[in-house]
Amino acid sequence: MTRRAPGEHPAPFRIVGRPLPRFDVADKVQGTTLYAADWRLPGMLAGRILRAVYPSARIRRISVEKARALPGVAAVLTADDVPQNALHEDPTGLGLSSFATPVLAADRVRYQGEPLALVAAESEVLAQAALEAIEVEYEPLPGVFDAGAALAPDGPRVHPDRENLLIHWKLRQGDVEGAFRRAAAIVERTYRTQRVDHAALEPEAAVAWVDGDGVVTIRAATQVIEHFREIAEILRLPHNKVRVQAPFLGGGFGGKEDMTVEPYAALLAWKTRRPVRMVWTRQESLLARPKRHPFTMSYKTGATEDGRLVAQEISLLADAGPYPLLSPRVVFAALVVGCGPYRVPNVKIDARAVFTNNVPTSAMRGFGAMQVTFAYESQMDLLADQLGISALEIRSRNFLRKGDRLPTGEALETQAALPHITARAVEALGERSRPSAPSGRVGRGIACNMQPYGRTVWFRDRAQAWIGFEADGALVIRAGVTDLGGGQAASLAQLAAEVLGVSPDRIAVHIGDSALTPLAGGTFATRQLYMSGNAVVKAAGELRAMMIPVAASLLEAAEPDVQFADNHAGVIGAPKRTIALARVVKECGRRGIPTALLSGFQGEHAAPIDLETGQGRTFPDYTFGCHAVEVEVDAETGAVRVLKLAACHDVGRAINPQSVEGQIQGGAVMGAGQALMEEVALEAGINLTTLFAGYLIPTAMDVPDVRPLVVESGEGKGPFSARGIGEPPTGPPPAAVAAAIQDAVGVRLTDLPMTPERVFDAVRARPARPEHEARGKV
C-alpha cells in the first residue's frame, strides 16, 4: 500500500513506520473506554440549556421563578448570573479587532438555538420540566439570512455597533487584468458549498464539578484543554482554579474545537457546588452547534493555449453566523490555498466573512481549504475542456514544485510530489466498470489538493511534552494533547519508542489534563503530529543524550556504538553486550543524572502578512494529495453511486501506516458525504435539519472500499519528516465526483451537495446532444 516517491530513501526505523495496533483500540472494542458522558459522580445533576426559538429577536422578559420552584431543580441561571458574561476574542489573531460574545444571551437573540438560560436538576426529566417552566417573552426582529445581502450597506445589522463585514482578507500578486487580456482561455464560474455538520457519533458532553481544593474541573469531550482560561475568565476565577480534562473523544472534526458544553457545565457546577453532567441531544447539536461555513466562490481563471495558468481572480464569501468564532481564520486558510497546488503568476483574491443571523459557523476538518478545492479543481477541468487537453495534462503543466513561489510570495520549502501522487491515484482505479443498469452511466474524475498543516506562523505555536523513566525501565509521557480518535496519543508512544528503545507496550501516555499534562495546544489544524510529535521526539532525544554516556560507561563501549532498543541498552554489532534500560535508569539515579525531563517544540514563527497584498509567510507547510473517483449516474433519476475511490496523499513519513491509511479513508468518505448528500438547510434562519434521520452522512452502503495510497517523500516538518494527514483527505472528493459526473452525463455541477435532483435537473437542462459517451479522460 505504501510506495516511495522517486528519489526517496528507505527508512531505517524499528518502530516508526510499523503498523502497530493502537493501545486505545483494545479498550474501545471492549467498551471500557470512558467517554465524557460515561463519567459518573455521586450526587450528579443533569444540566440543560434553554435555547432561543427565534433567529433574531429582543428578549423582553425572561422569568425563571416557576422553574426554580419545581421540585428537584438545583439551579436556574440566566445572563445576570454569569460573573463575566462575555468571551473576549481576537478573531484574526492579529489584534485588529476585538469581539465580546455573550455566554448567555441577555437582551438580544442572534441565532435560533442561542443559549438563554441554564438549569441543573436531579434528573434529565426534571431538568426538561424546568426548561419548559422558564417563561421567555420575545420580540422577533428582522434578521440577516443571506451572506450576499449582509454586505448591502443599508440592510439590517446583526450587531448594532459594527457593520456585517467581519473580515476581508486580500491577496494581490502581479497584474491579473493584463494577464486576462493576454489569456487564450478564460473560465468564469461561481461555486457554492453548503453548511455541513461534523456529525461525530459522540454528542457534545461534559461532567463538571468543584474538587476538594475549590478547583472547577470540567471533564469534557473537547479538542482544546486550553479553554480552561476562558472558563476562568467567565467565572472570574484565577486561571489556576479551573481545570479541563479531555478523555478520548468520540470524534471531533473541529466541532469540539470551540467550547461547546464546557462553560455551561462549569457555571452550573460552580453555582450548585455539585457535579453536573451536560450532554447535548443530537437534535440540539444539529440545531445550534457551529457548522462548516457555506462558501460562495466566484472564480475567473485564465490560461495560455497550452494550458499554463496565467491568472486567477477569486472572490470568496463565507457566512459566519452572528459570532466570529474561528471564521476569520477559516477564510484566511481559504485565501492562502485558493489557487490550489499550482503555479499562478498573477493572483487577486478577496476573501470575506460576514455576520448573519444563521447558525454560527466555525472550524471543521478542512477549514476553508476544503471548500476552495471544489472551486479550483472544477476550474482546472473546465479550462482543460475549453482547451481540448486532458484533466491530467492541464494539472501536470501547472503543478507546484519545491522552490516555487506561492501566491503569498513565500517559497514552497518541501517537495510537492504531485505527479507521482496523481499517477498513483489514477492507476488505482483499474479497469472502467460497466454500468449496472440500462440507465446507468459510468464516469471518472480526479482532483488534487493542498492543505496546510500547523497553525499560521504568526501564532508562535508551541507544544510541550514531559518524558520520564520509571525505575523498572517503563516510560511515561505526559502531554496535553487531546485524542479525537485519530491515534494522537498512540503516535506519541510510537515516536518515543523509536528514540528511547522502550517497547510500545511499556509506555504509558497521559494526555489531556490542563492541571497535570504540559500544554500542547489543541488537536486541530492538522498540527498535533507536527507540534507534539516534534516535542516528544525532542524531549526523548534530550533524555537519550543524557543517558547514553551512562549506558556507555556501564557497557564499557564508546558512546557512538551504544543503541537503545527493545528495552535494553546495547552495543551495535555485539548482540551479547546488553543491559536492561532499568539498570541504566538506576545508574543515572546513582550519579544524579535526570531520567525525566520537560521539553517543548516551537513552531516556525514569522511576522504577519501584509494586509493589503497578502504577501508574507503563512503556514509552515502543506500536505498534497489526489483522489480518483469512478461513479455511476442513473440518468433517469440523477442518483449518483460511487463505485471506486482511490485517495493518495504524501505524508512525508508514515509514523503508523495503518493509522495514516485510516485517516485517509475516513476523510475521503467524509468528503464524499459532502459531495453528494450532506446539508444543514436553513430558511430565514430556521434550521430545517434537526433530526439525525434528516442529516445524511454516508452509511456503509453509500461508499465503496476506499483505497488509501500513502506516498512518503521523506520531506515534512513533523517528526521524522512526517506531514499532517488529519484534514487533507476531506478536500478532493467533491471536485473529483463533480468531474466524474461530467464524464458520465456531460453536466458540471457547481453547487454542493450534488443531490439526485440537482443532477437530474442539470441533465434535463443540458442542450440536446447524441448519447453521451465517456471521454475517457482518466
Partner 1 sequence: MDETLALLARLPEAKILAGGQSLLPMMNLGLAHPGAVVDVNGLPGLETVTEDGGGLRLGALVRHRTLETSPLIRRRCPVLAEAASLIGNIRVRHRGTLGGSLAHADPAAELPLVAVALGATLEIRRLGGSREVSAAEFFRGYLLTDLAPGEMLTGVRIPASPPATGYGLAELVRRAGDFAIVAACAVITTDGAGACRHASLAIGGVGPHPLVMRRAEALLAGGPLTDRRLAEAADAVPGEVAPESDVHATAAYRRAMARVMASRALAQARARAAPGPGRPA
Partner 2 sequence: MAGAAPLRVRFVLNGSSVDVWAAPHETLLAVLRDTLGATEVKYGCGEGVCGTCTVLLDGAPINACLLLAVQAAGRAVTTVKGLGAEGHLHPLQRAFVAHEAAQCGFCTPGMLLVAHAFLADHPGPTRDEIRSAIAGNLCRCTGYTRIVDAIEACAGTGKGARGEPASR
Cell reading at 218: 470540567
756 interface partner picked from partner 1, partner 2, none, CB below 5 to 8 A per type: partner 1
Nearer to partner 1, 93 or 756 (CB): 756
DSSP state of 547: H
Least gap, CB of 695 to partner 1 (angstroms): 11
Judged by CB under 8 A, which of 196, 200, 536, 588 binds partner 2?
A: 200
Nearer to partner 1, 587 or 702 (CB): 702
Q: How far from 468 is each of 375, 508, 540, CA to CA, in Å?
A: 48, 10, 9
Q: Are the CB atoms for 732 and 647 separated by under 8 Å?
A: yes
**Three-state secondary structure of 246-315:** CCCCCCCCCCCCCCCCHHHHHHHHHHHCCCEEEECCHHHHHHHCCEECCEEEEEEEEECCCCCEEEEEEE
26 interface partner picked from partner 1, partner 2, none, CB below 5 to 8 A per type: partner 2
- Which of positions 687-706 make contact with partner 2 (CB under 8 A)? 691-693, 697-701, 703, 705-706
38 interface partner picked from partner 2, partner 1, none, CB below 5 to 8 A per type: partner 2
Nearer to partner 2, 283 or 553 (CB): 283
Q: How far from 719 is each of 16, 465, 565, CA to CA, in Å?
A: 10, 14, 19
Least gap, CB of 364 to partner 1 (angstroms): 21
3-state secondary structure of 630: strand
Nearer to partner 2, 529 or 703 (CB): 703
637 interface partner picked from partner 1, partner 2, none, CB below 5 to 8 A per type: partner 1
Beta bridge partners of 441: 633
Least gap, CB of 603 to partner 1 (angstroms): 41
Q: Residue 776 contacts by C-beta under 8 Å, 6 or more apart in sequence?
A: 432
Cell reading at 552: 556507555
Nearer to partner 1, 287 or 311 (CB): 287
Cα 760 off chain centre by: 32
Least gap, CB of 699 to partner 1 (angstroms): 6
Binding mask 116-135 for partner 2 (x = CB under 8 A): --------xx---x------
Binding mask 634-673 for partner 2 (x = CB under 8 A): ------------------------xx--xx-xxxxxx---
33 interface partner picked from partner 1, partner 2, none, CB below 5 to 8 A per type: partner 2
Candidate segments 37-45, 299-307, 308-316, 351-359, binder of partner 2 by CB under 8 A = 37-45
- Which of positions 267-286 make contact with partner 2 (CB under 8 A)? 279, 281-283
Nearer to partner 2, 46 or 210 (CB): 46
Is residue 505 at the binding interface for partner 2, with CB under 8 A as the rule?
Answer: yes
Q: Residue 18 contacts by C-beta under 8 Å, 6 or more apart in sequence?
A: 494, 656, 657
148 interface partner picked from partner 2, partner 1, none, CB below 5 to 8 A per type: none
689 interface partner picked from partner 1, partner 2, none, CB below 5 to 8 A per type: partner 1
Is residue 37 at the binding interface for partner 2, with CB under 8 A as the rule?
Answer: yes
Nearer to partner 1, 284 or 542 (CB): 284
3-state helix vs strand vs coil in the chain, percent to 5: 30, 25, 45
Least gap, CB of 704 to partner 1 (angstroms): 14
d(C-alpha 390, C-alpha 579), whole Å: 62
DSSP state of 728: G
Judged by CB under 8 A, which of 28, 68, 397, 544 binds partner 2?
A: 28
Angle at 105 between CA 52 and CA 514, to 5 degrees: 110
Q: Residue 154 contacts by C-beta under 8 Å, 6 or more apart in sequence?
A: none
**Which residues here bind partner 1, judged by CB under 8 A?**
128, 281, 283, 636-637, 639, 677, 681, 688-689, 691, 693-694, 696, 698-699, 701-702, 755-757, 760-761
> From edge to edge, which strands make up the β-sheet containing 706-712?
2-4, 706-712, 640-650, 621-634, 440-453
Q: Are the CB atoms for 172 and 178 separated by under 8 Å?
A: no
CA atoms within 13 A on the CB side of 419: 10
Is residue 487 at the binding interface for partner 2, with CB under 8 A as the rule?
Answer: yes
Least gap, CB of 28 to partner 2 (angstroms): 3
d(C-alpha 106, C-alpha 80), whole Å: 8
| Contacting positions for partner 2 (CB under 8 A) | 19, 21-35, 37-38, 40, 124-125, 129, 198-203, 248-251, 253, 279, 281-283, 484-487, 505, 658-659, 662-663, 665-670, 691-693, 697-701, 703, 705-706
